[in-house]
A and B are shown apart, each in its own frame.
Chain A
Amino acid sequence: NAGVTQTPKFRVLKTGQSMTLLCAQDMNHEYMYWYRQDPGMGLRLIHYSVGEGTTAKGEVPDGYNVSRLKKQNFLLGLESAAPSQTSVYFCASSYSTGGYSPLHFGNGTRLTVT
């Protein structure tokens, strides 16, 4: 059982470039989340999904888009990367609403935008 898998693990982008981060879970979880982590800021929720075909905004959604076309996958897109988006990105999933079941995290993607 792989759990939550994120690809890629590392990426360097130039300002203005685009990219997609992929998150895949094999636990049949309904809920999926994208967080970013910056020093001293904790984990901030970017977008989340409560089921296949649905997405919703979190605390810091600007500059990001997401899609949940399949239940097991949750994609995070950056259309025009900015240095402020340099961060570590974590994907997570949970069986039911995040308040009542644990979040399972992937290993993270370290993104640098120059």
Chain B
Amino acid sequence: GQQVMQIPQYQHVQEGEDFTTYCNSSTTLSNIQWYKQRPGGHPVFLIQLVKSGEVKKQKRLTFQFGEAKKNSSLHITATQTTDVGTYFCAPYNQGGKLIFGQGTELSVKP
């Protein structure tokens, strides 16, 4: 079945530093979604990428979908303490299922 690897598993940064998490698939993806989960909370939808090479921005967050549609990344510029949480990629499976990556846990030191 479809496999997706998300790296790194953990990332500790100083407030103001940049952060990037990567999502890599063994197969070509139709599209991919990204979610954020705050500590003790539930996953919340951030964005969806559909087109090859697509880049979308949300304030300090930049999302990219690879040209081959096998990988994706989330980059946060100048992290803030409010960015703390776990970020998940979720590629779409043709069977109608959304399969989540293992997540990258971000901690930000003030």
Q: Are A100 and B92 in contact, CB atoms less than 8 angstroms apart?
A: yes
Is B92 within 8 A of A43, CB to CB? no
B11 interface residue per 8 A CB criterion: no
B43 interfacial contact with A, CB 8 Å: yes
Least Cβ distance of B5 to chain A in Å? 11
> Of B43, B92, B95, B101, which contacts A105 at CB under 8 A?
B43
Cα distance, A99 to B31, chains bound together (Å): 7
B25 to chain A, nearest CB (A): 13
Interface residues in A84-104 (C-beta closer than 8 Å to B)? 90, 92, 94, 97-100, 102-104
A35 engages B45 (CB within 8 Å): no
Instruction: Report how many residues on chain A are interfacial, defined by Cβ distance under 8 Å.
Output: 28
- Chain A residue nearest in CB terms to B93: A99
Q: How large is the interface on B (under 10, 10 to 19, 20 to 34, 35 or more residues)?
A: 20 to 34
In Å, the complex CA distance between A92 and B37 comes to 14
Nearest Cβ on chain B to A92's Cβ, whole angstroms: 8
A-B contact pairs, 29 of them (CB 8 A): A31-B96, A33-B97, A42-B88, A42-B101, A42-B103, A43-B103, A44-B100, A56-B95, A59-B99, A90-B43, A92-B43, A94-B98, A97-B96, A98-B90, A98-B92, A98-B97, A99-B31, A99-B33, A99-B98, A100-B92, A102-B33, A102-B48, A103-B35, A103-B43, A103-B45, A104-B45, A105-B42, A106-B42, A108-B42
Residues of A whose CB lies within 8 Å of any CB of B are 31, 33, 35, 40-45, 48, 50, 56, 58-59, 90, 92, 94, 97-100, 102-108
